[in-house]
Amino acid sequence: MKAIHIILIAIIVATLNAACSQSMKKQNINASQFPEPPVAEKIDSVLTIHDHNRVDPYFWMRLSDEQKSAEVLDEQTQKVYDYLNAENKYTETVMQQTEDLQNKLYEEIVGRIKQTDETVPYFKNGYWYYVRYEEGMEYPIYCRKKKSLENNEEILLNANEMAEGRNYYHATGLNVSPDNKILAFAEDTLSRRMYTIRFKNLETGELFPDKINNTTGGGAWANDNLNYFFTSKDRVTLLSNKIWRHKLGTKNKTLVYEETDPSFYIGVYKSKSDKYIIIWNGSTLSSDYQLIDADNPTQVAKNFTPREEVHEYNILHYEDKFYILTNWNAQNFRIMETPENATSKENWKEVISHRDDVLISDIEIFKDYLVVNERKNALTHLRIINQHQNEEHYLDFGEPAYVANISTNPEFDTNILRFTYSSLTTPSSVYDYNMDERSRTLMKQQEVVGGHNPAGYVTERLYIDSRDGVKIPVSLVYKKGTKLNGQAPLLLYAYGSYGNSIDPHFSSTRLSLLDRGFVYAIAHIRGGQEMGRAWYDDGKMFNKTNTFTDYIDCASELINMNYTSAEKLYGMGGSAGGLLMGAVVNMAPELFNGIIAAVPFVDVVSTMLDETIPLTTNEFDEWGNPKNSDSYFYMLSYSPYDQVSKQEYPHMLVTTGLFDSQVQYWEPAKWVAKLRDMKTDNNLLLLKTNMDAGHGGASGRFERYREIALEYAFMLMLEDIKE
């Protein structure tokens, strides 16, 4: 009897284990349930450098801008379009079962957005400026009121009217002349970030005939209300390389400055004091500035201080001096000042010293106050300094994970600081802070239509040990009551490049996942600046693989801590974050059930070898120059496209835009084709190409959420969540 009893217990335990194991298995969905996916033709191209050959069977997918814009498609262009459209059709076929869910998600997401809405007005040069939205309209309406908010509204630009009949429209760079009579603005109708600057007479409502093509969009008015400074782009590389002065009402434009170093971006803006036109030049490692008196727009630009190979800094004009935010002998930056008539570096004097544990990321200047945006322990802080009384204090926010930043503050003579605040549970909020009284007033909080109770969600901040002993901050949010027993699906987001910090901000869109039981996490991996400048330096160039291993270590530990399991973990990243996704699935595919890679930068070596591709030369100090053998072989070791191998990969959704100027569409297209050819699993691999858009996806206020609904439906389908 004892033996029988033991056998029965063993059977029961085995049954329970089997049931548990079954519940932990990935959803029983695979590619064999659908028609065969497209198979891209393989035409081997041998790419040789440093006595090393790479064979690229999909190099033929690259099209020039001329091929894409031609009225009659050539044979290669037609072949590429046929392939992309076939992939779109396959994605549509696979995702057809989620069509109702996608529509529900879209309506749910859009339904939380207050359709008739407007921003908090700010005051500048006698007018209150704000942006408003009307129900059912996709684009913003830019407005102002003179002196008082009680006065009649004046519409500066209705982007809905400008966008009529277009598949894509984006207006930017709105800039009113000093006499308040003329609006300069820029528009992109292709999603290639090639803007045409136009001018509008605000007294008559008529557009001037002046059109300036091929610009970055931004600009600056001289104080004469006639001369407008702008930046042009190289038509092939899209590199910003020249500053021009255009005289309104004429066809004249005068070259003011030309940047000959292709590793620099350039641009032009006006100082907050309105005294200077400032030309800025910036590479990954160096900054440079030229000054023009805004009252004398034809004068020759004057260099602020001689350019150095390694020196990053920003300048702000105040009364008779400049403040400088600089990393000169200060990895995390310090603040210095110099007289406006003696701006070279030998005249700089320290105002706020460097600290090893605090990154100074931004400053704002007022008549009596200096406000400093700082980063410490992956959180932002606002430091208020009274310049006359030599007193200072910090604002307290009281949440474990949040983001607070200086907002729009165009006025000098005020004691009011406008700042923004958000957290994973608190909707985006705009505050006016009285720096004299140390009191804050909530001016506006993002309204979540249908209601949102922050207390119904839990936010956490973890510090996870990486394999080399560095603690990686991770911010999490989930709905209260979600069981953290390894059964919850978890979406782990990260970026990790260019020093861009991914802050824990609120998203009403994200509620659609949280309310369905998902945990959402942000891994603040190296390559950003969440933990200071060293955090960035440790995740770029020859330290780039730290970015990937940090993410993998965070994913692994979240599984170990029972926040989720490998069967329910999803990774997501876009652009350079898409590179992260590509590297991670090559290195540790077993950790994930699904991956979403948006506009992913995955063909690293080929792109960085081709200086005709937009933005390549600007980024040698970020990734390395593969013309140097050490950089080439290091980049090759992690380049997702080059490292695709015969192994199993998780379910994957890859998105791109045909007119993307940041990451060319052929990178993700080639990557998907190679993955299809080599992967040994039967998991889903989907490619979605927006044939009308670029890096930012669809234009319009609501249309972009259809793309998010697709991404969410992809994960929910894998979780067998149908509602």
Q: Is 490 left (phi over 0), alpha (psi -120 to 50) or beta?
A: beta
695 is catalytic: yes
- The DSSP output letter for 402 is E
Would you state the structure tokens that stand for residue 375, as one six-digit string? Answer: 């980063």
List the one residue out of 700, 706, 709 whose CA is nearest residue 160.
700
10 Å CB burial of residue 40 (0-12, 13-18, 19+) is buried
Would you state the structure tokens that stand for residue 418, as one six-digit string? Answer: 């406008």
3-state secondary structure of 707: helix
575 is catalytic: yes
Question: Phi, psi at residue 653, to the nearest 5°?
Answer: -120, 125
393 is catalytic: no
Would you state the structure tokens that stand for residue 37, as one six-digit string? Answer: 């996916």
Q: How far is residue 650's CA from residue 684's CA, in Å, rounded to a whole number? A: 8
Quickly count: other Cβ atoms within 10 Å of residue 168's Cβ.
22
Residue 597 has, within 13 A of its CA and on its CB side, a CA count of 28
Non-local (6+) Cβ contacts of 571 within 8 A are: 491, 492, 494, 551, 555, 581, 584, 585, 592, 594, 595, 596
Q: How far is residue 309's CA from residue 317's CA, in Å, rounded to a whole number? A: 24
Would you state the structure tokens that stand for residue 660, as one six-digit string? Answer: 């993307």
Q: How far is residue 445's CA from residue 320's CA, in Å, rounded to a whole number? A: 38
Quickly count: other Cβ atoms within 10 Å of residue 451's Cβ.
8
Query: Tokens 């510090």 belong to which residue?
Result: 463
Active-site choice (240, 466, 575, 606): 575
Query: Tokens 């969905």 belong to which residue?
Result: 29
Distance of CA 21 to the CA centre of its chain: 39
Written in H, E and C, the secondary structure of 672-686 is HHHHHHHCCCCCCEE
Q: How far is residue 472's CA from residue 457's CA, in Å, rounded to a whole number? A: 23
Q: How far is residue 185's CA from residue 226's CA, in Å, rounded to a whole number? A: 15
List the one residue out of 414, 448, 450, 446 whose CA is nearest residue 433.
414
- 135 in Cβ contact with 116 (< 8 Å): yes
Would you state the structure tokens that stand for residue 701, as one six-digit string? Answer: 């206020």
Residues linked to residue 597 through DSSP beta bridges, in sequence order: 573, 654
Q: What is the CA radius of gyration of the chain?
A: 27
Non-local (6+) Cβ contacts of 265 within 8 A are: 239, 240, 281, 282, 283, 618
List the one residue out of 613, 611, 614, 631 whose CA is nearest residue 623.
631
Active-site choice (354, 452, 524, 695): 695
Written in H, E and C, the secondary structure of 231-281 is EEECCCCCCEEEEEEEECCCCCEEEEEECCCCCCEEEEEECCCCCEEEEEE
Active-site choice (56, 503, 550, 660): 660
Residues linked to residue 170 through DSSP beta bridges, in sequence order: 188
Residues linked to residue 382 through DSSP beta bridges, in sequence order: 373
- 350 in Cβ contact with 330 (< 8 Å): no
Q: How far is residue 602's CA from residue 9's CA, in Å, rounded to a whole number? A: 52
Q: How far is residue 165's CA from residue 173's CA, in Å, rounded to a whole number? A: 22
3-state secondary structure of 121: coil
Quickly count: other Cβ atoms within 10 Å of residue 254's Cβ.
13
Q: Which residues are catalytic?
A: 575, 660, 695
